[in-house]
Amino acid sequence: MSRDRVPTRMLPSGDEMPLIGFGTWRLHDDTLRAALDAAIAAGYRHFDTAQAYGNEADIGDHLAEYDREEFFITSKVVGSDLAYDRVIRTCRESIDRLGTDYLDLYMIHLPNPAISLRETLSAMATLVKERLVRNVGVSNFDAYRLSCAQHIADVPIAVNQIEFHPIFQQPGLVEYCTQTDVVIEAAAPLGRGAVFSDELVTSISEKYGKSNAQVVLRWILEQDIVSLPRSSNPAHVEENIDILDWKLTEDDRHALDDHPRDEAIYTMPTAHWENDDYGIIH
């Protein structure tokens, strides 16, 4: 499959971000390498990782066999490293591990109220100025935090990566992102497996002769939302991007739109501050 067949969204820098990416959370060693082989062969050119995933070096080693310009690479800085100097250092370390000269997208992985957001975004602007980062994003930001970031940042907030799938759609946040030209990325677009047993998704997938994953990813694609499916199974990796040559009917799309949609899989109303990701509890 040619990378040119995957639709894209234009970011403020003018870069085109593929609407289907490959998530690498909890993929390591031989499992990761086999999944990357399958993803590249299937046509994925957008790869999402993070400092916290612990797999940047393996990804970098694998992608080094190819032309860097073929890929859109994202990484994220963990919430405990959001002070100015630590953002700069962490980004340089991620770039080194990935074996590249720059990141297409660098994101705040988690908001951390114990560290000044202005300080973090100032560091992000420095990274853009030094051409180490082409686009800046945030992850797990609600509309309030995103609005704050937009008002104090010296560079555009290009992307907000959030939990988004038929069971948890966050319509208010999606509407705000749309209104302010922030591209939405669906992290865990398959609800970490929850959509596989969902009755509505299953009934629609049977009509099309498609998998539940394909139906959900097609529904996300038709909203111009980026999806980041993850799988260690090469057959599933290929299946998840095989959604470009068919469409959902309007009725089926609306049925998924109207699905009960308030069941979060990992987005919590309050944070567990003892988590090392925040660096608050010592």
State mean pLDDT over 229-240.
97
Measured CA to CA, the distance from residue 164 to residue 225 in angstroms comes to 9
pTM: 0.95
Over pLDDT 90: what percentage of the chain? 90
Measured CA to CA, the distance from residue 273 to residue 238 in angstroms comes to 38
The per-residue pLDDT for 2 is: 43
Which residue shows structure tokens 């990701």? Answer: 277
Q: Report whether pLDDT(219) > 60.
A: yes
- Mean pLDDT (the chain) is 95
Domains by residue range for the chain, with CATH: 15-193+219-246 (3.20.20.100)
DSSP, res 30 = H
How do residues 68-109 score in pLDDT, each as one tens digit?
999 999 999 999 999 999 999 999 999 999 999 999 999 999
Q: Which amino acid is at 65?
A: E
Which helix (H) or strand (E) segment is 123 a member of?
helix 117-129
Is 53 an active-site residue?
yes
Q: Report whether pLDDT(4) > 70.
A: no
Q: Which of 53, 106, 176, 278 is catalytic?
A: 53
* pLDDT, greater one: 272 or 210: 210
Q: Report whether pLDDT(282) > 60.
A: no
Which residue shows structure tokens 């963990």? Answer: 78
Between strands 22-23 and 226-227, the pairing is unpaired
Q: At CA 18, angle to CA 82 and CA 144, rounded to 5?
A: 40
- Give start and end residues of each alpha helix (H) in 153-231: 171-179, 199-208, 212-221
- Give start and end residues of each alpha helix (H) in 102-194: 117-129, 143-152, 171-179
